[in-house]
Chains A and B, each alone.
Chain A
Amino acid sequence: MALTRTAPARARSGRARAPRPGRSGWRRRRNAVGLAFALPALVLFAAFAIYPMLRVFQLSLYDYNLTSPPVWVGLDNFRLLFGDERFLASLGASLFYVVVTYGPAVLLALVLALGLNTRMRGSAFVRLLYFAPVATSWVAVSVIWRLVLQPEGLLNQTLNTDIPWLTSSTWAKWAIAIAAIWKEVGFFLIIFLAGLQNIPKDLQEAAALDGAGSLRRLRYVTLPLLKPITVVVLVMAIIRGFQSFSPQVVLTGGSFGTEVINLFVYKTAFASARMGRASAVAVVMFILLLMVTFVQLRALRKSA
């Protein structure tokens, strides 16, 4: 775009210069060096990310148990999946986890970000506290929550209840969601804070001068300007939610209705050695997430 604008302008001014031979050669050399430096990383990325992904697409069309040669089955793996109660249940478990965990987590993160977006004394320390769970590994967090959620654990003692948090189909999925909200809020909080700090202060001041109270400023200034960040947060939330694996493994082993889609893929691939079927699930999830992300981005573009 920039080039098409500047070239006629230069021609009109009569000061257009022929490109210096040395300059373009230097550029080519620079690009070649840059490419050469990027090449090792590109090779590794292609070998360990792109190639396995393409293999997954290919394997989804085969019956392959790791020991015998793959057998072409076409779309059979996909057909079988949609009649498989366990697959559908794991899809439901993932959906539940995404909605029940990331809905509240994103909302809570936004509220906390609005509260912490001040120069209040100690707010940096509070932000750090909220971010601490994000920096902790999921396995470590799950081990801690396993203790908290024991029948005689901290949560039951605090609530004075006797709920079998981790051994009941009614409660286990909620228990994992509670632990996940605790861990994930800090992640979205930091993103929202970054978004809030990019909103020009003069807009807020102008709205205040026009008589807008804090709620009206939030509704008509802050939230609309946060929309791009919010969409990014929602896309990330959905992807992170569908990628969940560790809390379910550590807290319940996938029992009691908590076998999420990634855990199903793992068991299908490595415990049952049905690599073709596991690949088919991965392909389905890839397409599903791609569609959801596409719809979200379209929605953002329309509202912008």
Chain B
Amino acid sequence: MSARPRTRTVLIPALALLAVAAGCGSDGDSTGDGGDQIELTYWTHTHPPMTELNKQLIAEYEEANPNVTITYETIPNNDFGTKMLTSLSNGSGPDIINMDDSALRGEYIPKQLLAPIEPSAFGAESVEELEALYVDGTLDGAKGDDGTLYGVPSEFNATAFAINTQHFAEAGLDPANPPATWDDVSEYGQQLVAAGHEGFNFVYLHAGWYTQQLQTLLNETGGSILNDDGTASALTEPKSVEALQIWHDLIREDEVGNADTASREATSPFEDFASGRRSMTMIYPWAVEQIAQDNPETFENLAVVPLPQVDPANPSGRWYGYYFAVNKASEQQEEAWKFIEYMTSQHDRWLTDVNFVQPLKDWEQSEAAANIPFLEVWSQAYQQGKFDEVGPHWSEVQDAIKAAVERSIFDGQPPAESLEEASESVDQSVTS
């Protein structure tokens, strides 16, 4: 072979390979050639009012810090956990995350995916000094077993109950006398159904939602998902079965709602209540603002009342929070914490604009809090909450709970039998 054809033989494919490689690598340098130019990425779930405020705050921060560019992405709620966990695990995740406490405590912190908090970014000399700014216990959702803190709350939620006062009036019920127990919910619900409404229902979205609602009932009945040392299922314990029985009886026996026709739009979880189809629902502070924005008419007839109880003499509730945290693999951790400090410094706007409570001490006394609707109810709800349980391979446990609820609520399987099946799956997940 002469030298020329041989050169061609080698050169042409080599150039082709080079072109492909160049195409693959054309993403560019994240910091560019600008020297001090800093690029941060920030991911959240999808909640339209929150997204809007995030965009405003990012624009303000970028204006005040011209060398910083923040790429903000919202991930569809059903995919949020999976996408975030996978990307953080392979080192390609965002610099800044906003994630719920179950995921943080169940997956991200044990897997060492997050950077410990940097108190100096918040003007504090120590973590203790930073913690002292917040209501006791509210930062526990972002702590590891060893007490290391990994984030600060973007929102901190307690659980209350919403009623549509107009529906109540139509059914001959007194909105000033809301249901205090689940038996009341059943009784009122049936009257509301007779008046042409869906009386009450739970929300049927992804496994996380199923689990958190069952957890709310478990907190009231004294049941739990796992045993005390977290090594086995406790779902077959009578108090645990009682929780699912409440759910089952309301929907299957008393027929205060129809699970088959419930909305499954994860971006707007309270769509059925907001649209005026449903009369009663469990609710969180952030949902009130979404209803106000999307359905002003329903908002006019909305009353937030205390969560119905199994034992009103010993009320119980459920807390959960979303926390700003920083990816351990981020090369811009210092800048990421500075941005988070700015986000949390705007706590009054989070409260006023989107009803997100950032639980700084005496938040209820602030001017912003004075203007949020039903402050007294929320304030009371924050007194009686606790964080959800978590354990090893928690997403599998949540899937098992979702399947158990579906068997019981949609297929009519008795709760004890359904939880027996779930219990086997949970045991397998937490022990293997």
Bitwise, B56-95 to A at CB < 8 A (1) or not (0) is 0000000000000000000000100110011001100000
**B155 to chain A: closest CB distance in Å?**
23
Known A-B contacts A84-B428, A255-B402; the reply to A270 vs B206 at CB < 8 A is no
Residues of B within 8 A of A169 (CB): 406-407, 410-411
Assembled-state Cα–Cα distance A167/B111 (Å)? 35
Contact in complex: A85, B425 (CB < 8 Å): yes
- Which of chain A's residues 150-171 have a Cβ closer than 8 Å to chain B? 151-152, 164, 167-170
Known A-B contacts A36-B12, A253-B206; the reply to A167 vs B259 at CB < 8 A is yes
A28, A32, A255, most chain B CB atoms within 10 A: A255
Contact in complex: A33, B9 (CB < 8 Å): yes
From B115-123, B181-189, B332-340, B392-400, give the one contacting chain A. Answer: B392-400
Q: Which of A32, A33, A40, A67 contacts B111 (CB 8 A)?
A: A67
A80 interfacial contact with B, CB 8 Å? yes
Contact in complex: B393, A37 (CB < 8 Å): no
A44 interfacial contact with B, CB 8 Å? yes
A43 interfacial contact with B, CB 8 Å? yes
B20 interfacial contact with A, CB 8 Å? yes
Contact in complex: B1, A25 (CB < 8 Å): yes
**A188 to chain B: closest CB distance in Å?**
32
**A238 to chain B: closest CB distance in Å?**
27
B113 interfacial contact with A, CB 8 Å? yes
Please name the residue on chain B nearest to A271 by beta carbon.
B395
Contact in complex: B82, A270 (CB < 8 Å): yes
Contact in complex: A271, B260 (CB < 8 Å): no
Contact in complex: A65, B78 (CB < 8 Å): no
Contact in complex: A29, B5 (CB < 8 Å): yes
Please name the residue on chain B nearest to A42 by beta carbon.
B13
Q: Which of A32, A40, A152, A267 contacts B9 (CB 8 A)?
A: A32
A183 interfacial contact with B, CB 8 Å? no
Bitwise, A196-232 to B at CB < 8 A (1) or not (0) is 0000000000000000000000000000000000000
Known A-B contacts A168-B410, A169-B411, A253-B78; the reply to A66 vs B260 at CB < 8 A is no
B176 interfacial contact with A, CB 8 Å? no
**B9 to chain A: closest CB distance in Å?**
5
Contact in complex: A37, B12 (CB < 8 Å): yes
Q: Which of A33, A68, A167, A271 contacts B85 (CB 8 A)?
A: A271
Assembled-state Cα–Cα distance A66/B112 (Å)? 11
B30 interfacial contact with A, CB 8 Å? no
Assembled-state Cα–Cα distance A82/B217 (Å)? 34
B314 interfacial contact with A, CB 8 Å? no
Residues of A within 8 A of B85 (CB): 270-271, 273
Known A-B contacts A44-B20, A151-B261, A253-B206; the reply to A66 vs B86 at CB < 8 A is yes
Assembled-state Cα–Cα distance A293/B386 (Å)? 55
Assembled-state Cα–Cα distance A274/B399 (Å)? 15
Contact in complex: A271, B81 (CB < 8 Å): yes
A45 interfacial contact with B, CB 8 Å? no
Please name the residue on chain B nearest to A172 by beta carbon.
B410
Residues of B within 8 A of A39 (CB): 13, 17
Contact in complex: B393, A36 (CB < 8 Å): no
Residues of A within 8 A of B81 (CB): 271
**B108 to chain A: closest CB distance in Å?**
10
Please name the residue on chain B nearest to A274 by beta carbon.
B393
**B184 to chain A: closest CB distance in Å?**
27
Please name the residue on chain B nearest to A162 by beta carbon.
B260
Bitwise, B394-428 to A at CB < 8 A (1) or not (0) is 01100100110011001100000000000011001
Residues of A within 8 A of B86 (CB): 66, 270, 273
Residues of B within 8 A of A272 (CB): 393, 395-396
B432 interfacial contact with A, CB 8 Å? yes
Assembled-state Cα–Cα distance A253/B205 (Å)? 10
**A147 to chain B: closest CB distance in Å?**
13
Assembled-state Cα–Cα distance A71/B320 (Å)? 34
B10 interfacial contact with A, CB 8 Å? yes
Q: Which 4 A-B pairs have the closest CB atoms?
A: A66-B89, A164-B260, A36-B13, A271-B395
A-B contact pairs, 18 of them (CB 8 A): A29-B9, A32-B1, A36-B9, A36-B12, A37-B12, A37-B13, A40-B13, A40-B17, A80-B432, A83-B428, A167-B410, A253-B78, A253-B206, A255-B402, A255-B406, A256-B410, A272-B396, A273-B89
Known: A29-B5, A255-B403. 12 other contacts (CB 8 A): A28-B1, A33-B5, A33-B8, A40-B16, A67-B89, A68-B111, A86-B425, A164-B410, A255-B402, A270-B82, A272-B396, A273-B89
Which of B's residues lie within 8 Å of A, judged by CB?
1, 5, 8-10, 12-13, 16-17, 20, 78, 81-82, 85-86, 89-90, 107, 111-113, 206, 259-261, 393, 395-396, 399, 402-403, 406-407, 410-411, 424-425, 428, 432
